[in-house]
């Protein structure tokens, strides 16, 4: 049985200590970063070795391949991708923008699955506002919640058509944050009504997607004491409640400076709040051991949601017009240069 956490890896090869850790603790997922990506063959070997150590291929293997400034894989390993904002910015017709978003996500799925990766931490459904920190910026599809939802749906559909699990982020919304949660804890003072009408809307529209990642953001109108990722009230009343999301819920990275406490305490905080999986990204083995010690085995509804998410990665891949996708990619890269 898998434990309720996702683990990073330290480098290009699986260290003996990591192999023993993965064998003993059996995380439900792995996440790769640029430090893990040297060549295509090396990535395939690293993923294969990690899965062999875990003793299962029913593992989510994640990466952030949004496009723009957030893409861990670069040429020649994978195609260069434009930022999310390019679709709406360079299309007057929403249908055409959505078609391009679908095609680029579908071809991205080919890149990921060819390397043994089956989960992409995208689409970003955050709604940016004027004056917000640029941590989201052009990672957002637009400023209009309904347009964000339509483009996010197209991206999610393109990924799933290629056998890749999409993870929408950062539920219930990171677009108003005035700080980078990698470095400090953002505090959002908007009213509950404003949040519900704007920030939550894209997530509500896409509530049937199979996976989501929480935000390390305090919403003072909802819970003054805890960021959304560690707030049982927000998980219950907003994410599972008014938004209505019933898919696999994972925390954002536990090693971000928005959180405090030991890594065992952080793990318990996000899981006790209602996340199904605790995400730890930086590959520090001592920290990973604390996370693993605090994470229980997956069971109950969390296990059911995990199994539904894994099923997405095992569904038959849908055919598509690759030449059309390549042409769209070339065109959008040229316009975003």
Burial class of residue 19 (count of CB atoms within 10 Å of its CB; 0-12, 13-18, 19+) = middle
Percent of the chain with pLDDT over 70: 100
Give the model confidence (pLDDT) of 164-210 as tens digits: 999 999 999 999 988 777 878 889 999 999 999 999 999 999 999 99
CATH numbers and ranges of domains, the chain: 3-336 (3.20.20.300)
Residue 264: how many CA atoms within 13 Å on its side-chain side? 5
Burial of 303 (0-12, 13-18, 19+ CB in 10 A): middle
Dump pLDDT digits (tens) for 100-114. 999 999 999 999 999
In the predicted structure, residue 24 carries a pLDDT above the cut 90 = yes
| DSSP three-state, residue 89 | helix
Q: Which pLDDT belongs to residue 337? A: 67
Please state, in angstroms and as integers, the Cα–Cα distance from residue 95 to each residue in 139, 147, 203, 245, following that order. Answer: 20, 10, 20, 26
Give the tens place of pLDDT for each residue, 227-241.
999 999 999 999 999
Beta bridge partners of 62: 31, 119
Give the tens place of pLDDT for each residue, 292-337. Answer: 999 999 999 999 999 999 999 999 999 999 999 999 999 999 988 6
Q: How confident is the model at residue 92 (pLDDT cuts 50, 70, 90)?
A: confident
Residue 49 has pLDDT above 90, yes or no: yes
Among all residues, which ones are annotated catalytic? 182, 252
pLDDT value of residue 320: 97
Angle in degrees, 0-180, between the axes of helices 94-113 and 322-336, rounded to the nearest 10 = 110
Following CA atoms 250, 239, 104, 44 in sequence, which dihedral angle do they give, to the nearest 10 degrees? 10
């Amino acid at each position: 049985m898998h434990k309720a956490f996702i683990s990073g890896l330290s480098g290009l090869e699986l260290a003996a200590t990591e192999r023993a850790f993965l064998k003993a603790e059996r995380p439900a997922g792995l996440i790769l970063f640029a430090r893990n990506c040297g060549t295509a063959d090396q990535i395939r070997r690293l993923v294969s070795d990690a899965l062999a150590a875990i003793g299962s291929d029913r593992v989510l293997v994640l990466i952030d391949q949004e496009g723009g400034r957030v893409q861990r894989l670069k040429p020649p390993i994978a195609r260069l991708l434009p930022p999310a904002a390019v679709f709406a910015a360079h299309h007057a017709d929403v249908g055409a923008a959505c078609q391009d978003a679908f095609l680029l996500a579908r071809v991205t799925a080919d890149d990921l699955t060819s390397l043994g990766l089956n989960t992409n931490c995208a689409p970003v459904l955050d709604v940016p506002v004027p004056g917000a920190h640029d941590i989201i910026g052009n990672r957002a599809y637009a400023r209009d919640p309904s347009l964000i939802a339509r483009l996010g749906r197209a991206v999610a559909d393109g990924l799933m058509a290629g056998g890749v699990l999409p993870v929408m982020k950062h539920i219930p919304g990171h677009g108003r944050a005035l700080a980078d949660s990698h470095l400090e804890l953002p505090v959002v003072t908007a009213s509950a009504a404003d949040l519900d009408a704007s920030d939550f809307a894209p997530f509500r529209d896409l509530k049937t997607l199979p996976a989501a990642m929480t935000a390390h953001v305090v919403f003072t109108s909802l819970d003054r004491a805890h960021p959304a990722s560690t707030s049982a009230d927000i998980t219950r009343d907003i994410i599972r409640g008014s938004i209505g999301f019933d898919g696999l819920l994972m925390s954002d990275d536990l090693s971000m400076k928005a959180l405090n406490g030991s890594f065992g305490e952080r793990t318990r905080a996000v899981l006790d709040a209602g996340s199904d999986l605790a995400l730890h990204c930086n590959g520090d083995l001592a920290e990973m051991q604390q996370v693993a010690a605090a994470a229980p085995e997956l069971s109950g509804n969390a296990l059911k949601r995990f199994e539904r998410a894994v099923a997405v990665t095992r569904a038959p891949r849908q055919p598509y017009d690759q030449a059309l996708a390549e042409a769209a990619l070339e065109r959008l890269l040229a316009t975003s240069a």
